[in-house]
């Protein structure tokens, strides 16, 4: 007897993604519902979502994990495919998801698949960037975006996890300056999370941690095979690790990270 075909909701969180959202939503047209949770975009993000048939909700942003879990809870169906606006499902992965759905998602409580990131003209296939497998397809009755970490959040499930062929294509950066800005934002969020949990930075960690991250990704995991983009990626991710360690050290010693508020008078 053929199993009942479950209904599938795709969820996407957005903020000013008018330039990237359409391709993301087009890759999700096989889903039974597409839900976009926006955090107050000032561009045409919501109009684009509605034009593609998505249901749009607005919620103030209070963290990546919280925003994604809210989307999961508001979805119409129990099986969830969770993407960011800068991600797309490729044809092979789409076929694999459809086949699993037709079989009733009987093999697992969640499914992971590789994520390939585009980086200045090519998709990285080595180093710390790949295969970067993510669990993004799951039964919300057995899992979701759990835990307390709001940055580099992960979905987890209670039960078996299977790996699907194909790739989730990732276009993370609009420019080099965009990457640096995101690196600073993520480093600050990670440092604050670590500080709240009582973790501490040291001078050794500021030196050894970033150096090890570069060596592991660029040499041990053959990031050098991605050419100049691979080298730049390894440098910048090591920079992010260093930024996190420095910011954590500053937090634990009560030192300023941001400029203090200024009055209206003249200052030298």
Tokens for 38, please give them. 């926006």
User: What backbone torsions phi and psi does residue 155 show, to the nearest 5 degrees?
Assistant: -90, 140
Q: Give the pLDDT confidence score for residue 268 in this predicted structure.
A: 45
At residue 1, the pLDDT reads 58
Q: DSSP string spanning 111-131?
A: EEEEEEEEETTEE--SGGGSS
Taking each helix axis from N to C end, the angle separating 203-215 and 227-252, rounded to the nearest 10 degrees, works out to 160
- Tokens encoding 17: 């993604």
Q: Which domains does the chain have, with CATH numbers?
A: 8-170 (3.90.550.10), 176-252 (no CATH)
| Helix extents (H) in the chain | 21-26, 45-51, 64-74, 91-102, 176-196, 203-215, 227-252
CA nearest 233: which of 252, 206, 247, 213? 213
Q: pLDDT at position 263, please?
A: 64
Torsion (CA) 47, 50, 54, 59 in degrees, nearest 10: 50
- Cα–Cα distance measured from residue 267 to residue 34, given in angstroms and rounded to the nearest whole number: 52
- Which pLDDT score, from 0 to 100, does residue 2 have? 65
Q: Would you say 224 and 125 are in contact if contact means Cβ atoms under 8 Å apart? A: no
Total residues belonging to the chain: 268
Q: Map residue 58 onto helix, strand or coil.
A: strand
Mean pLDDT, each 10-residue run in order, the chain (268 residues) = 86 97 98 98 98 98 95 98 98 98 97 97 95 97 90 92 98 93 90 89 88 95 96 94 93 88 57
Distance in angstroms (rounded) separating the CA atoms of residues 3 and 242: 51
CB atoms inside a 10 Å sphere around CB 50: 13
User: To 10 degrees, the CA torsion angle through 10, 16, 17, 19?
Assistant: 150
Closest CA to 32 of 2, 68, 77, 72: 77
Q: Is the dihedral of CA 5, 13, 16, 122 positive or negative?
A: negative
Q: Say how far apart CA 11 and CA 74 lie, in whole Å.
A: 9
How far is the C-alpha of 22 from the C-alpha of 28, rounded, in Å? 10
pLDDT for the residue numbered 259:
84
């Amino acid at each position: 007897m053929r199993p009942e075909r479950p209904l599938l909701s795709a969820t996407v969180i957005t903020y000013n993604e008018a330039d990237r959202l359409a391709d993301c939503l087009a890759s999700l047209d096989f889903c039974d519902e597409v839900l976009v949770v926006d955090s107050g975009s000032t561009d045409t993000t919501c109009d684009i979502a509605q034009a593609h048939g998505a249901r749009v909700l607005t919620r103030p942003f209070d963290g990546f994990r919280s925003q994604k879990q809210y989307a999961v809870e508001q979805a119409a169906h129990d099986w969830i495919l969770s993407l960011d606006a800068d991600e797309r499902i490729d044809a092979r992965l789409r076929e694999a998801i459809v086949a699993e759905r037709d079989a009733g998602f009987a093999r697992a409580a969640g499914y992971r698949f590789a994520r390939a990131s585009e980086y200045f003209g090519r998709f990285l296939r080595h180093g710390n960037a790949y295969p970067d497998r993510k669990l993004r397809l799951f039964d919300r009755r057995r899992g979701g975006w759990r835990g307390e970490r709001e940055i580099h959040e992960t979905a987890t499930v209670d039960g078996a996890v299977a790996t699907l062929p194909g790739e989730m294509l990732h276009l993370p950066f609009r420019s080099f300056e965009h990457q640096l800005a995101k690196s600073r934002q993520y480093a600050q969020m990670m440092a604050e999370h670590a500080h709240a949990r009582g973790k501490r930075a040291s001078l050794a960690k500021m030196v050894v941690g970033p150096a090890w991250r570069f060596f592991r990704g660029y040499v041990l995991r053959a990031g050098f095979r991605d050419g100049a983009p691979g080298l730049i990626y390894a440098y910048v991710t090591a920079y992010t690790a260093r930024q996190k360690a420095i910011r954590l050290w500053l937090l634990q010693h009560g030192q300023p990270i941001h400029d203090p508020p200024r009055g209206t008078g003249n200052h030298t």
